[in-house]
Amino acid sequence: AQKITQTQPGMFVQEKEAVTLDCTYDTSDQSYGLFWYKQPSSGEMIFLIYQGSYDEQNATEGRYSLNFQKARKSANLVISASQLGDSAMYFCAMRDLVMNRDDKIIFGKGTRLHILP
Amino acid sequence: DGGITQSPKYLFRKEGQNVTLSCEQNLNHDAMYWYRQDPGQGLRLIYYSQIVNDFQKGDIAEGYSVSREKKESFPLTVTSAQKNPTAFYLCASRTGTGLGDTQYFGPGTRLTVL
């Protein structure tokens, strides 16, 4: 069965340092997509970055990059030069071909990131 | 501006009452979704709709109902049959049907049953 695991329930990081949020996934499909979302205290889920399983390059979007290691089934989010506004809950999500047929996506339980001044 | 709106932001309900949460989008997306989020948890799918006048149950549909009479609107009714309705409810819509097509979310409604 498809699964997303985020093993870090909470993290504290000093402002301006880089942050890596872990995400491992499980699927038997060769075609799948991985997503990261940010949820600030206001509650809205904000899409950050996407990585397709066949993408040759790691996805990047501004200060966000995705460290995609296919053999290890990991898709870690890297935030460079962290800012106070990065304090939020972060969710990793996945959709594979089987799930896409049913229009489904699964989310991990999230990592709460605290940026310290 | 294009986006998804949800209202109200906070909702209080007495036990035994039905309540309807609003979700509207002007992104011209065909597919819309309702999720429930409990404290410290990820999102669980309640209902989704891929086209007007059609919708499917998600993983936790019991005690909820939806309608999709217009492309822009996908209201969720939390009925008195829902045993633990206090939660944060998020509505989303999706850009397309491809693997990489992203779901975009509204600001959410926090429902509290008194």
pLDDT band at B40 (very low <50, low <70, confident <90, very high): confident
Among B103, B109, B111, B112, the strongest candidate for a mutation testing the A interface, having the largest count of A CBs within 10 A, is B103
A110 closest CB neighbour out of B42, B94, B102: B42
Among B99, B104, B112, the strongest candidate for a mutation testing the A interface, having the largest count of A CBs within 10 A, is B99
Tell me how far apart the terminal alpha carbons of chain A are, to the nearest angstrom: 41
Mean pLDDT value across residues A13-20: 97
- The answer to whether A104 contacts B97, with C-beta atoms less than 8 Å apart, is no
How far, in Å, CA of A1 to CA of B93, rounded?
Answer: 25
pLDDT band at B95 (very low <50, low <70, confident <90, very high): confident
Give the side-chain half-sphere CA count within 13 A for A37.
Answer: 25
- Cβ-Cβ contacts under 8 Å for B41 (sequence gap 6 or more): A109, A110
Q: Name the closest residue on chain B to residue A39, using Cα atoms.
A: B107
Cβ contacts of B80-84, under 8 Å, gap ≥ 24: B80/B15, B80/B16, B80/B17, B80/B18
State yes or no: pLDDT of A100 exceeds 90. Answer: no
User: Looking at residue B89, what is its pLDDT?
Assistant: 97
Mean pLDDT value across residues B4-30: 94
Establish if B89 touches chain A: CB-CB under 8 angstroms.
no
B33 to chain A, closest Cα gap in Å? 10
By the 8 A CB rule, do A70 and A51 touch? no
Assigned token pair, A69 = 């290691």
Assigned token pair, B98 = 């491809």
State yes or no: pLDDT of A102 exceeds 90. Answer: no
pLDDT band at B23 (very low <50, low <70, confident <90, very high): very high
User: Looking at residue B69, what is its pLDDT?
Assistant: 97
Q: How far is CA B80 from CA A27, A91, B65, in A?
A: 37, 31, 11
Question: 24-83 in A: which are within 8 Å (CB) of B?
Answer: 31-33, 35, 37, 42-47, 50, 52
By the 8 A CB rule, do B108 and B10 touch? no
Q: Prior bond to B75 cis, omega within 30? A: no
Q: How many CB pairs under 8 A join A and B?
A: 57
State yes or no: pLDDT of A54 exceeds 70. Answer: yes
User: Looking at residue B1, what is its pLDDT?
Assistant: 63
